[in-house]
Each structure stands twice: as C-alpha cells, then as structure tokens.
Amino acid sequence: MHAEDVRQHLTTPLTSPAFAPTVPRFTDREYLNVVYRTDPDALRAVVPEPLRIAEPLVRFEVMKMGDASGYGPYTEAGQAIPVGFEGEQGEYLHAMYLDNFPATASGREVSAYPKVLGSPSLTVDSGALVGTLDHGSVRVATATMGYKHHELDRREAEAQITVPTFMLKTIPGYDGLPRVQELVRTRITDVTVKEAWTGPARLQLFAHVLAPLADLPVLEVVSAGHILTDLTLSGVEPVHDYLKGAAS
C-alpha cells in the first residue's frame, strides 16, 4: 500500500477499519434525562479548569438510538455536568457508556467523547420509562420516569439537548506523556424534536470502581425529560490547550 493510500484512511486496521468514514445521522434518538442535585465538592473534584460550575447539578442520560448511519441501533448512558466557559453556558461530558464498539471508537478517535463499553438499556415497564446501566454483570444505575405523563414544550426540549458541549481530549505520546490534551467544544444544530414529555422521576446510582457514577451522589431529583429526535452531530473545535496553558 502506497503512502498516499495510507493517508486516505481515517482509522485502523487499514483493511477493516474500526468505524465507517461517515458523519452519522441519528433517526429516532430517544432520550431519558434526569437532572439531579449533587455534592458540590464532588463536582469540583472532577470538572477540569477552566470550566466553571454554577450549580451542583448533573444530568444522567440514557439515549436509545433507533438507527444511526454507520453504526445501526445501539444504546448509550452517562453523565453531563452544567458548566460555564468564558461567559457561555453548556455541559461537560463526564462519562459515557455504550454497547456498540464502532460508535465507541469513532467517538473517542474522531471527536473527544469519553466513551467506554457498557450495557445500558431504555425500556417501558408497567407504566414507567426505565433506563439502566450495567458494567459487566453489575448494575450501576437505574432511572425511572412516569411514561408520557405531561407534554414538554418542544422548544424547551430542543434547548435541553442543543446546549454547547465541552469534552476533554487526551492522547498519550510514545513516552507515556500526553501528546494532545485539549478542551474541545461542539453543539448539536441539526435537530428535529418529534415528541417531548416530562413527569416524576427517580434515580439510583450504585458504587462501582470502574464505573464511578455514584461518586456524584443523588441528593435531589430536579427534573426529568423524555425526548424523541432526529439529529446530526457537529464536529468539534479546540478551545483550550492544556499543554500550552492557553486558549487555542
């Protein structure tokens, strides 16, 4: 294979790439969002500067992808933390667990999503929307919400899922030190909200050393949403270089 041919490949293995070279379109992407209040000291211990925390809130999310081009259907769960950066309000993606390897590899390599493999699910059970996350055979999160109790304004629902998103991109060098270490930003701009609901909700987190969601404990459930959308993810842009100690 000639050098110019190698340069055309986005990922490895060269003859069977880990993910498709496409910008995925998500159809019937279904969210269960539970916003809860947590310990502010615990938040400060995990949110990197120069991001700032206004309120000690966390959004636990489960996302069921009805169809995603390049990946197919899969499910994802994680935690996002409301933050501010240079006067702009957004969310810091703290942790993401999903059951699809190509989507995991693409999210980490092409962007900066903190994705690792896990076993999340989103189902309806006896009048409740139920989102769960297992690590291996161990349950680490269970969220329940009354199924379609009250309609949520679709503009509000869109605002919830299109806030600017901040992520930490770290790539090690061959000497074991970071070769790339940047804070990056993205935002969903191409979205259609098909349905949006709200209702009562509960959230339980269980301690696990390799999936430490419970390190941000649930003190009070603030709100919940159930949203069905079509959307396309935007690319990322660096906004702070930790190795230079200055904005990019």
Catalytic residue numbers?
115
Cβ contact 247:241 at 8 Å: yes
Residue 40 and residue 182: Cα distance in Å, rounded? 24
What contacts 36, CB < 8 A, 6 or more positions away? 57, 58, 59, 60, 203, 218, 219, 220, 221, 222
Burial of residue 39 (CB within 10 Å: 0-12, 13-18, 19+) is middle
Cβ contact 104:112 at 8 Å: no
